[in-house]
Homo-oligomer: A and B are copies of this chain.
Amino acid sequence: MSSYGRSYSSESYAPSAPSLPESYSQQEDDRRSYGSSRPQSSGYGVHQNHQQQQQYHQPPPAYGQGQGQSSSPTGYSGFPPGTHPDVIRSFEMVDVDRSGYIDEKELQRALSSGYQRFNLRTIRLLMFLFKNPHDALRIGPKEFAALWSCLGQWRAIYDRYDRDRSGKIDLFELRDALYGLGYAVPPSVLKILMSKYDDGSGRKIELGFDSFVECGLILKGLTEKFKEKDKRYVGQATFNYDEFMSTVLPFLVAYD
């Protein structure tokens, strides 16, 4: 255990991890890797691999975030400049009342319009982690674009580690894929995470993209919360009781 969570490789956390909205990424610029005991160069290595990956396994067009595309062709003003028209179209398609916000069911429809279906559990985690923390349970154009872009990056990484193109990844592929996201997850933690998908049949546990996203979101959310309390970046965080409960409970609540 002692080799994990204490020895950090520099630069291996932030570069490849897709960004959450501002409120969740206050410390995104610190470049430490939680839980990593890999060599120093691995962080950038991961990032570079990810870039290379994108050249030969492009994420599906619907998830791609266009660059230099004209933004908001249909009048929605909240999208960041350069947002791909597909993203705006997907948002529009489900925001039938033109409120400028979508709820969890609408998000599920928007994301499931392509090839990938997400279960409501993953959708709720996405909503919880991407929505404005002071807002109700809904997201606007800006958060939707960030979420879409994040999923595009995760898809590219997932496809890379699904080496046999089975549409499933196993424990070792998950480990590598999460490392591709910037998380060097200790085996003990990985084992707990993986047990979530054990159906008790004794069969080898494998994850589809949906479950991979769920794992990635849980790790991302909790790691960022930990980092907020690990002010000196020493791999240790001290919580008082209220802080601990207020940090952990929202994950359980989001996970209805």
A positions within 8 Å CB-CB of B:
1, 4-6, 34-35, 136-137, 185-186, 188-189, 192-193, 195-196, 200, 218-219, 222-223, 226, 230, 235-246, 248-253, 255-256
Chain B residues, Cβ within 8 Å of A248: 222, 248, 251
- Smallest distance from the beta carbon of A101 to chain B beta carbons, Å? 13
Instruction: Flag if A192 contacts B246 (CB, 8 Å).
Output: yes
Given contacts A248-B248, A250-B192, contact A241 B226 (CB under 8 A): yes
Given contacts A241-B35, A241-B226, contact A189 B249 (CB under 8 A): yes
Complex A-B, nearest 8 residue pairs according to Cβ-Cβ distance, in ascending order: A5-B241, A5-B242, A196-B253, A5-B240, A238-B238, A34-B241, A192-B249, A189-B245
- When the two chains form the complex, which single residue of B35, B186, B239, B242 contacts A1, counting CB atoms closer than 8 Å? B242
Q: Which of A136, A192, A223 has the most CB of B within 10 A?
A: A192
- Per the bound structure, the CA–CA distance linking A188 and B250 in Å amounts to 11
Give the distance in Å from the alpha carbon of A4 to the alpha carbon of B230 in the complex. Answer: 21
- What is the minimal beta-carbon distance from A228 to any residue of chain B, in angstroms? 12
**Contact in complex: A237, B238 (CB < 8 Å):** yes
Known: A188-B242, A189-B246, A242-B35. A256 touches B5 (CB 8 A): no
Judge whether A242 and B186 touch: CB under 8 Å.
Answer: yes
Residue of B137, B196, B218, B226 near A200 (CB, 8 A) is B137
Distance to closest chain B CB from A215 (angstroms): 10
| CB of A5, distance to nearest CB on chain B (Å) | 4
How distant is A247 from chain B, measured CB to nearest CB, in Å? 8
Query: How far in angstroms is the closest Cβ of chain B from A221?
Result: 10
- State in angstroms the CA–CA spacing of A34 and B189 once bound together: 27
Taking a contact as CB atoms under 8 Å apart, the answer to whether B218 and A252 are in contact is yes
List the B side residues contacting A235 at CB < 8 Å.
240-241
Contact B192 A241 (CB under 8 A): no
Neighbouring B residues of A249 by C-beta, 8 Å: 189, 192-193, 218, 222
Known: A196-B253, A253-B193, A253-B196. A237 touches B242 (CB 8 A): no
